Amino acid sequence: MKILGISGHYHDSAAALVIDGVPVAAVQEERLSRRKNDASFPLAAIEWCLDQAGLAPDDLDAVIFYEKPTLKFDRVLTSLLQGYPRSWRSYPKAMKNMLGEKLWVRGLIASQLGISTRKVRCIEHHQSHAAAAFLTAPTQEAAILTADGVGEWATLTVGRGVKNADGSTAIELMRELRFPHSLGLFYSAVTSYLGFAVNEGEYKVMGLASYGEPTRLDEMRRLLKPTGDGAFKLELDYFDFLGKVESGYSQRFVELFGPPRRSWQPIDLASAEGRRWADIAASAQRLLEEVMLGIASDLQRETGLSDLCLGGGVALNGVANARILREAGFDRLFVPSAPGDAGCALGAALYADRILFGRPDRAVPDHPFWGPVADAATLLRIAGEDGLPVKVADEAGLIEDVADALADDRIVGWVDGALEFGPRALGNRSILAAPHDAMMRDRLNRDIKYREEFRPFAPVVAAEHADRYFDLLPGGGRLSRFMSGVFPVRPEWAARLAAVTHVDGTARVQILERGMAPRLHALLEAYGRRSGIPILLNTSFNLAGEPIVNTVTEAYSTFRRCGIDLLVAGNVRVSKPHLTPVAILEKVA
Amino acid sequence: MGAQGLYEKPPERPDMKSVAGKRFLADPFGMLLRPLHELIWSDRERRARKLLEFAEVEASGGRDLVRAAELTSDPLLRERYLRHARDEARHADMFRARGRALSGAANGDGSGGFAHWVAPGEQGMEGLDLAREKDADLLAFLHLSESAAARDFARYAKAVGGDPATRSLFQHILRDEDHHMRYTHAELLRVAPRRARRVLWWARLRRFWKAYLRFATALAGLIAGVVLTLQYFLLLPPFAWLSKRAARRERPGWIHIETKGR
Q: Is B255 on the interface with A (CB under 8 A)?
A: yes
Amino acid, single-letter form, for residue A412: V
In terms of Cβ atoms closer than 10 Å to its own Cβ (0-12, 13-18, 19+), residue B162 is exposed
CB-based burial of residue A185 (10 Å sphere; 0-12 exposed, 13-18 middle, 19+ buried)? buried
Q: What is the pLDDT of residues A369-422, one digit of tens each?
A: 999 999 999 999 999 999 999 999 999 999 999 999 999 999 999 999 999 999
- Mutation target to probe the B interface, by most B beta carbons within 10 A, among A33, A37, A84, A584 is A84
**pLDDT, tens digit, 9 for 90 and up, residues A251-300:** 999 999 999 998 878 899 999 999 999 999 999 999 999 999 999 999 99
Kindly determine whether residue A95 and residue B228, on different chains, have CB atoms separated by under 8 Å. Answer: yes
How does residue A583 score in pLDDT terms, banded at 50, 70 and 90?
low
Least CB–CB distance from A229: residue in B79, B85, B253 = B253
Query: Domain segments of chain A: what residues?
Result: 2-129+347-359, 183-332, 371-575
Domain extent listing, chain B: 19-220
Quick check: B118 pLDDT over 60? no
In CATH terms, the superfamily for domain B19-220 is Ferritin, core subunit, four-helix bundle (1.20.1260.10)
Distance CA A441, CA A431 (A): 12
Restricting to B residues 204-233, those with a Cβ less than 8 Å away from any Cβ of A are 221, 224-225, 228-229, 232-233
Q: Which residue of B has its CA nearest to A179?
A: B252
Q: Which ipTM value was assigned to this complex?
A: 0.87
CB pairs under 8 A between A and B: 136
Picking from A84, A446, A545, the nearest residue to B63 by CB comes out as A545
Nearest CB among A181, A563, A576 relative to B2 is that of A563
B78-116 pLDDT, tens per residue? 999 999 999 999 999 999 999 988 876 544 443 333 333
pLDDT at B116: 30
Verify whether the Cβ–Cβ distance B110 to A264 is below 8 Å. Answer: yes
Name, in order, each residue with C-beta under 8 angstroms of A90's C-beta and a sequence gap of 6 or more. Answer: A80, A83, A242, A243, A245
Which CATH number is correct for A2-129+347-359, 3.30.365.10, 3.40.50.300, 3.40.50.720, 3.30.420.40? 3.30.420.40
ω into A69 cis (within 30 of 0): no
Q: Does B238 touch chain A (CB under 8 A)?
A: no
| A158 DSSP β-pair partners | A145, A175
The CATH architecture of the domain made up of A183-332 is 2-Layer Sandwich (3.30)
Q: Which amino acid does the sequence have at B109?
A: D
Q: What is the pLDDT of residue B261?
A: 36
For A371-575, the fitting CATH number among 3.30.70.260, 3.90.870.20, 3.40.50.300, 1.20.1440.230 is 3.90.870.20
The answer, for A174 touching chain B at a CB cutoff of 8 Å, is yes
Asked if residue A324 lies in contact with residue A293, where contact means CB atoms within 8 angstroms, the answer is yes
Contact A84 B240 (CB under 8 A): yes
How sure is the predictor about B17, in pLDDT bands with cuts at 50, 70 and 90?
very low
Quick check: B5 pLDDT over 90? Answer: no
User: Which of B83, B46, B38, B41 has its CA nearest to residue B65?
Assistant: B83
Q: Which whole-number Å values give the CA distances from B78 to B12, B105, B131, in the listed order?
A: 17, 41, 14
Report pLDDT digits (tens) over B166-201. Answer: 999 999 999 999 999 999 999 999 999 999 999 999
Query: Does residue A182 sit at the B interface (CB-CB below 8 Å)?
Result: no
Contact between residue A310 and residue A339 where contact means Cβ atoms under 8 Å apart: yes
Q: Which of B30, B45, B58 is nearest to B154 (CA)?
A: B30
- Between A53-57, A142-146, B206-210, the lowest mean confidence (pLDDT) is in B206-210
Helix (H) or strand (E) holding A507: strand A506-507
A21 vs A262, more confident: A21
Residues 341-400 on A with a CB inside 8 Å of B are 382, 385-386
